Amino acid sequence: MNLQFLILRPILISTICVLFGTGLLFAAELDDSTLFVEAFNADKKKDYLLSIKKIDQLNLLFPDSQLRDISMLLLARAAIRSGDNVLAATTANRFIAEFSDSSILESLDDELIVLGRRQKNGEGIAPSRSLQIAARKVRDEQLANERVSIKLTINLSESPGSFKVDERGRLLFELINKSGSREEFQLKTTAAPEYAVRFSPVDDDKVILERVLISAGEKFNGALSFQVPHDRIDGYKMKLPIKAFSGRFPDVSFSRDVMINASAPLIRAVVKPNKVKVYPGEPFQYKVTLINAGSMAARKLAVRIELPEQLEFVESKKTGYKSESDRVAVYRFETL
Protein backbone atom coordinates (compact mmCIF):
# COMPACT_ATOMS: atom_id res chain seq x y z
CA MET A 1 0.00 0.00 0.00
CA ASN A 2 1.56 3.31 -1.06
CA LEU A 3 1.75 6.46 1.02
CA GLN A 4 -0.84 8.26 -1.10
CA PHE A 5 -3.49 5.66 -0.25
CA LEU A 6 -2.56 5.80 3.42
CA ILE A 7 -3.22 9.53 3.38
CA LEU A 8 -6.45 9.29 1.38
CA ARG A 9 -8.00 6.50 3.43
CA PRO A 10 -8.37 8.52 6.69
CA ILE A 11 -9.88 11.34 4.63
CA LEU A 12 -12.33 8.89 3.06
CA ILE A 13 -13.25 7.46 6.44
CA SER A 14 -13.79 10.93 7.89
CA THR A 15 -16.03 11.82 4.95
CA ILE A 16 -18.06 8.66 5.47
CA CYS A 17 -18.47 9.53 9.14
CA VAL A 18 -19.69 13.04 8.30
CA LEU A 19 -22.16 11.77 5.73
CA PHE A 20 -23.41 9.08 8.06
CA GLY A 21 -23.93 11.60 10.82
CA THR A 22 -26.06 13.85 8.61
CA GLY A 23 -28.20 10.98 7.38
CA LEU A 24 -27.01 11.29 3.79
CA LEU A 25 -25.35 7.93 4.01
CA PHE A 26 -27.70 5.14 4.96
CA ALA A 27 -27.97 1.40 4.53
CA ALA A 28 -31.20 -0.51 4.24
CA GLU A 29 -29.13 -3.65 4.66
CA LEU A 30 -26.13 -4.30 6.85
CA ASP A 31 -22.75 -3.83 5.18
CA ASP A 32 -19.12 -3.69 6.27
CA SER A 33 -18.66 0.05 5.77
CA THR A 34 -21.66 0.83 7.97
CA LEU A 35 -20.37 -1.42 10.74
CA PHE A 36 -16.92 0.17 10.53
CA VAL A 37 -18.39 3.67 10.73
CA GLU A 38 -20.35 2.66 13.82
CA ALA A 39 -17.19 1.20 15.40
CA PHE A 40 -15.22 4.30 14.45
CA ASN A 41 -17.82 6.66 15.94
CA ALA A 42 -18.03 4.58 19.13
CA ASP A 43 -14.24 4.76 19.50
CA LYS A 44 -14.35 8.55 19.18
CA LYS A 45 -16.90 8.64 22.00
CA LYS A 46 -14.56 6.45 24.09
CA ASP A 47 -17.19 3.70 23.99
CA TYR A 48 -14.55 1.05 23.37
CA LEU A 49 -16.75 -1.93 24.25
CA LEU A 50 -19.25 -0.97 21.56
CA SER A 51 -16.41 -0.41 19.10
CA ILE A 52 -15.14 -3.94 19.80
CA LYS A 53 -18.64 -5.37 19.34
CA LYS A 54 -19.09 -3.68 15.96
CA ILE A 55 -15.69 -4.85 14.69
CA ASP A 56 -16.50 -8.39 15.82
CA GLN A 57 -19.72 -8.22 13.79
CA LEU A 58 -17.82 -6.90 10.79
CA ASN A 59 -15.26 -9.72 10.95
CA LEU A 60 -17.96 -12.35 11.42
CA LEU A 61 -20.25 -11.20 8.62
CA PHE A 62 -17.63 -9.92 6.20
CA PRO A 63 -14.39 -11.91 6.70
CA ASP A 64 -13.06 -10.78 3.30
CA SER A 65 -13.84 -7.10 3.79
CA GLN A 66 -11.49 -4.57 2.24
CA LEU A 67 -11.62 -2.80 5.59
CA ARG A 68 -9.98 -5.69 7.41
CA ASP A 69 -6.66 -3.91 7.96
CA ILE A 70 -8.02 -0.70 9.48
CA SER A 71 -10.75 -2.53 11.37
CA MET A 72 -8.14 -4.79 12.96
CA LEU A 73 -6.07 -1.75 13.89
CA LEU A 74 -9.16 -0.13 15.43
CA LEU A 75 -9.92 -3.34 17.32
CA ALA A 76 -6.43 -3.54 18.83
CA ARG A 77 -6.61 0.07 20.01
CA ALA A 78 -10.12 -0.31 21.45
CA ALA A 79 -9.06 -3.50 23.25
CA ILE A 80 -6.07 -1.96 25.03
CA ARG A 81 -8.03 1.18 25.94
CA SER A 82 -10.83 -0.94 27.43
CA GLY A 83 -8.33 -2.91 29.58
CA ASP A 84 -8.60 -6.16 27.58
CA ASN A 85 -4.86 -6.64 27.16
CA VAL A 86 -5.14 -10.26 25.99
CA LEU A 87 -7.41 -9.27 23.10
CA ALA A 88 -5.14 -6.31 22.34
CA ALA A 89 -2.00 -8.48 22.21
CA THR A 90 -3.69 -11.20 20.14
CA THR A 91 -5.07 -8.68 17.66
CA ALA A 92 -1.73 -6.86 17.41
CA ASN A 93 0.10 -10.09 16.59
CA ARG A 94 -2.51 -11.08 14.00
CA PHE A 95 -2.28 -7.60 12.49
CA ILE A 96 1.51 -7.86 12.22
CA ALA A 97 1.30 -11.34 10.67
CA GLU A 98 -1.33 -10.47 8.07
CA PHE A 99 0.04 -7.09 7.04
CA SER A 100 3.78 -7.50 7.50
CA ASP A 101 4.50 -6.18 3.99
CA SER A 102 2.16 -3.21 4.25
CA SER A 103 3.15 0.31 5.19
CA ILE A 104 0.02 0.46 7.35
CA LEU A 105 2.04 -1.53 9.88
CA GLU A 106 3.66 1.78 10.81
CA SER A 107 0.32 2.88 12.27
CA LEU A 108 0.43 0.24 15.00
CA ASP A 109 1.07 1.81 18.40
CA ASP A 110 4.32 0.95 20.18
CA GLU A 111 2.49 -0.22 23.31
CA LEU A 112 0.54 -2.72 21.22
CA ILE A 113 3.75 -4.01 19.63
CA VAL A 114 5.31 -4.46 23.07
CA LEU A 115 2.20 -6.18 24.39
CA GLY A 116 2.22 -8.54 21.42
CA ARG A 117 5.87 -9.45 21.98
CA ARG A 118 5.20 -10.21 25.63
CA GLN A 119 2.41 -12.58 24.63
CA LYS A 120 4.65 -14.29 22.07
CA ASN A 121 7.32 -14.75 24.75
CA GLY A 122 4.81 -16.59 26.90
CA GLU A 123 4.40 -13.87 29.52
CA GLY A 124 1.14 -13.69 31.39
CA ILE A 125 -0.97 -10.78 30.18
CA ALA A 126 -3.16 -9.33 32.92
CA PRO A 127 -6.13 -7.06 32.22
CA SER A 128 -6.22 -3.47 33.39
CA ARG A 129 -9.01 -3.44 35.96
CA SER A 130 -9.23 0.34 36.14
CA LEU A 131 -9.63 0.63 32.37
CA GLN A 132 -12.18 -2.19 32.34
CA ILE A 133 -14.27 -0.40 34.98
CA ALA A 134 -14.03 2.87 33.10
CA ALA A 135 -15.03 1.22 29.81
CA ARG A 136 -17.99 -0.49 31.44
CA LYS A 137 -19.12 2.81 32.95
CA VAL A 138 -19.00 4.56 29.58
CA ARG A 139 -20.94 1.69 27.95
CA ASP A 140 -23.63 1.78 30.65
CA GLU A 141 -24.00 5.54 30.28
CA GLN A 142 -24.23 5.23 26.52
CA LEU A 143 -26.86 2.49 26.81
CA ALA A 144 -28.93 4.67 29.11
CA ASN A 145 -28.72 7.55 26.63
CA GLU A 146 -29.47 5.31 23.66
CA ARG A 147 -32.45 3.77 25.41
CA VAL A 148 -34.27 7.08 25.79
CA SER A 149 -33.25 8.10 22.27
CA ILE A 150 -34.97 5.21 20.52
CA LYS A 151 -37.97 6.64 18.73
CA LEU A 152 -40.25 5.01 16.20
CA THR A 153 -43.36 6.23 14.43
CA ILE A 154 -45.96 3.78 13.11
CA ASN A 155 -48.16 5.14 10.34
CA LEU A 156 -50.88 3.59 8.23
CA SER A 157 -50.40 4.06 4.50
CA GLU A 158 -54.14 3.91 3.91
CA SER A 159 -57.36 4.43 5.84
CA PRO A 160 -58.75 1.22 7.34
CA GLY A 161 -62.13 0.26 5.98
CA SER A 162 -64.46 -2.71 5.98
CA PHE A 163 -63.34 -6.23 5.18
CA LYS A 164 -65.46 -9.19 4.21
CA VAL A 165 -66.04 -11.93 6.75
CA ASP A 166 -64.32 -15.27 6.19
CA GLU A 167 -61.72 -13.62 3.94
CA ARG A 168 -58.18 -12.33 4.41
CA GLY A 169 -57.61 -8.60 4.52
CA ARG A 170 -54.47 -6.55 4.00
CA LEU A 171 -53.35 -3.14 5.23
CA LEU A 172 -50.15 -1.24 4.44
CA PHE A 173 -48.13 0.50 7.14
CA GLU A 174 -44.78 2.23 7.53
CA LEU A 175 -42.26 2.34 10.33
CA ILE A 176 -40.09 5.48 10.59
CA ASN A 177 -36.93 5.20 12.68
CA LYS A 178 -36.54 8.59 14.34
CA SER A 179 -33.63 7.44 16.47
CA GLY A 180 -30.11 8.68 15.87
CA SER A 181 -28.81 5.27 14.82
CA ARG A 182 -29.78 2.15 12.93
CA GLU A 183 -32.17 0.10 15.05
CA GLU A 184 -33.70 -3.34 14.94
CA PHE A 185 -37.36 -3.77 15.87
CA GLN A 186 -39.35 -6.93 16.52
CA LEU A 187 -42.90 -6.91 15.17
CA LYS A 188 -45.71 -8.46 17.18
CA THR A 189 -49.45 -8.21 17.73
CA THR A 190 -51.74 -8.97 20.66
CA ALA A 191 -54.73 -9.74 18.41
CA ALA A 192 -56.52 -13.02 19.12
CA PRO A 193 -55.17 -16.07 17.23
CA GLU A 194 -58.40 -16.36 15.25
CA TYR A 195 -57.42 -13.24 13.32
CA ALA A 196 -54.23 -14.98 12.09
CA VAL A 197 -52.32 -11.68 11.94
CA ARG A 198 -48.95 -11.69 10.23
CA PHE A 199 -46.48 -9.12 8.96
CA SER A 200 -44.69 -9.16 5.63
CA PRO A 201 -42.72 -6.86 3.32
CA VAL A 202 -45.03 -4.73 1.22
CA ASP A 203 -43.92 -6.44 -1.99
CA ASP A 204 -44.03 -10.07 -0.85
CA ASP A 205 -46.92 -11.43 1.23
CA LYS A 206 -45.37 -14.89 1.27
CA VAL A 207 -42.56 -13.76 3.56
CA ILE A 208 -43.41 -13.81 7.26
CA LEU A 209 -41.67 -10.85 8.84
CA GLU A 210 -40.65 -10.85 12.48
CA ARG A 211 -37.78 -8.34 12.65
CA VAL A 212 -36.80 -5.26 10.67
CA LEU A 213 -33.55 -3.31 10.62
CA ILE A 214 -34.05 0.38 9.84
CA SER A 215 -31.34 2.99 9.34
CA ALA A 216 -31.55 6.30 11.18
CA GLY A 217 -34.18 8.55 9.66
CA GLU A 218 -35.30 5.88 7.23
CA LYS A 219 -38.63 4.10 6.85
CA PHE A 220 -39.76 0.54 6.30
CA ASN A 221 -42.90 -0.24 4.32
CA GLY A 222 -44.74 -3.36 5.38
CA ALA A 223 -48.08 -5.12 5.12
CA LEU A 224 -50.37 -6.40 7.84
CA SER A 225 -52.57 -9.29 6.74
CA PHE A 226 -55.37 -10.85 8.78
CA GLN A 227 -58.36 -13.17 8.67
CA VAL A 228 -61.84 -11.86 9.40
CA PRO A 229 -63.65 -14.65 11.32
CA HIS A 230 -66.73 -16.03 9.60
CA ASP A 231 -68.99 -15.48 12.60
CA ARG A 232 -68.59 -11.68 12.80
CA ILE A 233 -71.71 -9.64 12.10
CA ASP A 234 -71.86 -6.64 9.80
CA GLY A 235 -70.27 -3.56 11.35
CA TYR A 236 -68.40 -5.53 14.01
CA LYS A 237 -65.37 -3.47 15.08
CA MET A 238 -62.03 -5.26 15.36
CA LYS A 239 -58.82 -3.95 16.92
CA LEU A 240 -55.55 -5.20 15.43
CA PRO A 241 -52.57 -3.80 17.38
CA ILE A 242 -49.22 -3.30 15.65
CA LYS A 243 -46.40 -3.49 18.19
CA ALA A 244 -42.70 -2.90 17.58
CA PHE A 245 -40.20 -3.80 20.31
CA SER A 246 -36.63 -2.53 20.37
CA GLY A 247 -34.15 -5.28 19.52
CA ARG A 248 -31.72 -3.92 22.11
CA PHE A 249 -34.15 -2.92 24.84
CA PRO A 250 -37.14 -5.32 24.88
CA ASP A 251 -38.97 -3.15 27.41
CA VAL A 252 -39.01 -0.26 24.94
CA SER A 253 -41.95 -0.65 22.58
CA PHE A 254 -44.19 1.33 20.26
CA SER A 255 -47.74 0.51 19.22
CA ARG A 256 -50.55 1.53 16.92
CA ASP A 257 -54.08 0.14 17.07
CA VAL A 258 -55.70 -0.51 13.72
CA MET A 259 -59.50 -0.43 13.87
CA ILE A 260 -61.36 -2.20 11.09
CA ASN A 261 -64.98 -3.18 10.49
CA ALA A 262 -66.40 -6.50 9.39
CA SER A 263 -68.49 -6.50 6.25
CA ALA A 264 -71.19 -9.18 6.23
CA PRO A 265 -74.79 -9.84 5.21
CA LEU A 266 -77.42 -8.94 7.80
CA ILE A 267 -80.57 -10.90 6.98
CA ARG A 268 -84.01 -10.35 8.45
CA ALA A 269 -87.32 -11.98 7.42
CA VAL A 270 -90.65 -10.24 7.91
CA VAL A 271 -93.78 -12.45 7.68
CA LYS A 272 -97.27 -10.96 7.53
CA PRO A 273 -100.66 -12.61 6.77
CA ASN A 274 -103.17 -10.74 4.60
CA LYS A 275 -105.95 -11.62 7.06
CA VAL A 276 -106.04 -11.51 10.79
CA LYS A 277 -109.03 -13.82 11.13
CA VAL A 278 -109.75 -16.80 8.86
CA TYR A 279 -112.35 -19.58 8.83
CA PRO A 280 -111.75 -23.32 8.43
CA GLY A 281 -111.07 -24.22 4.79
CA GLU A 282 -110.61 -20.58 3.81
CA PRO A 283 -107.42 -19.83 1.86
CA PHE A 284 -105.26 -16.82 2.79
CA GLN A 285 -101.79 -15.56 2.00
CA TYR A 286 -98.59 -14.93 3.87
CA LYS A 287 -96.25 -12.26 2.53
CA VAL A 288 -92.65 -13.10 3.32
CA THR A 289 -90.18 -10.21 2.90
CA LEU A 290 -86.49 -10.99 3.07
CA ILE A 291 -84.23 -8.01 3.79
CA ASN A 292 -80.42 -7.77 3.63
CA ALA A 293 -79.51 -4.79 5.80
CA GLY A 294 -75.78 -5.60 5.74
CA SER A 295 -72.98 -4.08 3.69
CA MET A 296 -72.18 -7.32 1.88
CA ALA A 297 -74.30 -9.34 -0.52
CA ALA A 298 -75.74 -12.62 0.77
CA ARG A 299 -75.31 -15.60 -1.51
CA LYS A 300 -76.78 -19.09 -1.71
CA LEU A 301 -79.60 -18.36 0.72
CA ALA A 302 -82.17 -20.95 1.75
CA VAL A 303 -85.31 -19.78 3.56
CA ARG A 304 -87.25 -22.61 5.20
CA ILE A 305 -90.85 -22.02 6.22
CA GLU A 306 -92.72 -24.35 8.54
CA LEU A 307 -96.46 -23.98 9.03
CA PRO A 308 -98.37 -25.15 12.10
CA GLU A 309 -100.40 -28.35 11.88
CA GLN A 310 -103.66 -26.46 11.20
CA LEU A 311 -102.31 -25.08 7.90
CA GLU A 312 -101.01 -26.48 4.64
CA PHE A 313 -99.33 -25.01 1.57
CA VAL A 314 -101.48 -24.46 -1.50
CA GLU A 315 -99.22 -22.64 -3.90
CA SER A 316 -96.35 -20.10 -4.11
CA LYS A 317 -95.92 -17.13 -6.42
CA LYS A 318 -92.17 -17.04 -5.98
CA THR A 319 -89.70 -18.92 -8.15
CA GLY A 320 -87.13 -21.03 -6.35
CA TYR A 321 -89.88 -22.58 -4.27
CA LYS A 322 -89.69 -26.24 -3.34
CA SER A 323 -92.24 -28.09 -1.24
CA GLU A 324 -90.81 -30.58 1.23
CA SER A 325 -94.22 -31.51 2.63
CA ASP A 326 -97.73 -30.10 3.06
CA ARG A 327 -96.41 -27.85 5.84
CA VAL A 328 -92.78 -27.21 4.90
CA ALA A 329 -91.44 -25.18 1.98
CA VAL A 330 -87.99 -23.91 1.04
CA TYR A 331 -87.13 -20.84 -1.02
CA ARG A 332 -83.63 -20.51 -2.46
CA PHE A 333 -81.88 -17.32 -3.59
CA GLU A 334 -78.58 -17.00 -5.41
CA THR A 335 -77.91 -13.41 -4.34
CA LEU A 336 -79.60 -10.88 -2.10
> What is the reported pLDDT for 320?
67
**Structure confidence by residue, pLDDT tens digits, 114-131:** 999 999 999 999 999 999
> What is the reported pLDDT for 144?
92
Residue 2: phi and psi, rounded to 5, are -80, 170
Percent of the chain surpassing pLDDT 70: 89
How many alpha carbons fall within 13 Å on the CB side of residue 283? 5
> CA 293 from chain center: how many Å?
39
Answer positive or negative: Cα dihedral of 48, 54, 58, 61: positive
Q: Which residues of the chain fall below pLDDT 50? A: 1-28
Per-residue b/e over 29-38, b at no fewer than 16 CB within 10 Å?
eeebbbbbbb
**Sequence-ordered alpha helix ranges (H) in 99-257:** 110-120, 129-149
* pTM reported for the whole predicted model: 0.66
Name the β-bridge partners of 173.
156, 222
> What is the reported pLDDT for 256?
93
List C-alpha distances in Å: 317 to 186, 272, 286, 287, 320.
62, 15, 11, 10, 10
Tell me the C-alpha distance between 209 and 173, whole Å.
13
| Entry field: residues in the chain | 336
